[in-house]
Structure 1
Amino acid sequence: MTHTLSATRHPASVTSAARPAARRALTGGAAAGPLFLALGVAQGLARDGFDFTRNAISQLALGEAGWIQTVNFLLTGVLLIMGATGLRRALRGGTGGTWGPVLVGVFGASFWAAAIFPADAGAGFPAGAPDTATLSGHGAAHMVAGTVGYLALCAAFVVLARPLAARGHHGWARASRLVPVAVLAGFTASAAFVPAFTAGAGLGLLWLAAVTARLAATPTPRLAVTPANR
């Protein structure tokens, strides 16, 4: 009796060999969102004149202590791209293994762009800034970077729903398809209510952390072995 694999052995062996490195990278990716939000909230509470009901977290990169938020953007970008490489290793050869990591990588790169092109002052922050902001070139670039990044993240959630379902996490897969709706709703409502943007962005970051951690903790489905040529 002989046996053949329903798919080649090579992808499975590569995934197995890369698993420890993939998990380390995924751990970094899972830490990105909570770390960014924790540092942002801490700064918002400590900085004079910052008001979560009027100001976006991005504005914390302005003023004398703005370098802290700039470093926060850069570090978060590094961790997100690390997570993207972990996803690529963990999902290699499987569903979602190409576009999921690419889209998360784009999201990570958008944080670097946000650090390079700071948001405009406005809504009374930093101290002495006018209530109405004037859109500058770097402010427009910051907005474009954020828009592209979060659209990529929403698309990544839809793509990553497939490997979640393949691992038996059907509830997670359904939620991963619904979270983008909430994120985009928050962005849409932000024109009238700034905290809606913060809530939408925070939800996206935290759900990415949860999905990344779930994929890191779940073994890659094994390739099936089928009998043949009995």
Structure 2
Amino acid sequence: MRQRAQDIYASAPMRSLLADETVAYMPDVRRCAGSRALLLSAAAADGPPNPPYLGQWVTLRLAEGRLGGDVSASANEPLPFLDGAFDLILLRHALELVPLSLDEIVRVLTPGGLLVLTGISPLSGWTPWWLWRTRGSAAHARSPLELAARLRRAEVLVERVQRVGQLLPLSNAPTGKTPGWLGGGYVLVARKKGPASVPIRLRPKPATAPVRAGLAPGARRSSVS
């Protein structure tokens, strides 16, 4: 039976893949300097890393062509944030549901900021399963090598591209054991050219601080909790 594409991320195989991705990129997140981070995820239950590592997180979830969470906006419009608003941007399968603009992602990333991007590799054993479960909703899935080439043209340094996850989308697959380049998912780590920001903090900020800085003029916060 057909499912909405975002429901796939609650399935057992996808939960296992999301866990493998987290293991792969957490060392990069831990060394990220800055104070503001953006999580844009296709998984409804996804949240910032714990502990959060950066002082303020903006969490957006993609569903039905819209962005919900801390800010409400259309996924087809420019992101409602100022240029260079975030020191870290974590995209979790966000490019698989709608053709989000990579130029917009790079625009809201501060010079020297870190971009971590995950997704399902279209050249993996997961693609037939995805197409069957969603009746062809993987039209926007992109190769990590293609994404890396586009980021380089946007003056973004690609630090590494890593395949993760199991060879096939099995419900009982163990997490944390990746088969290298045969994995169904990938993690792409890149850094925007320019000096990294090292903010001075006089006192720590709580991880649940309300969204204030970085919103573009006229943007509105979502009422979705």
TM superposition score normalised by structure 2: 0.26
Larger Rg: 1
**Structure that is richer in helix per residue:** 1
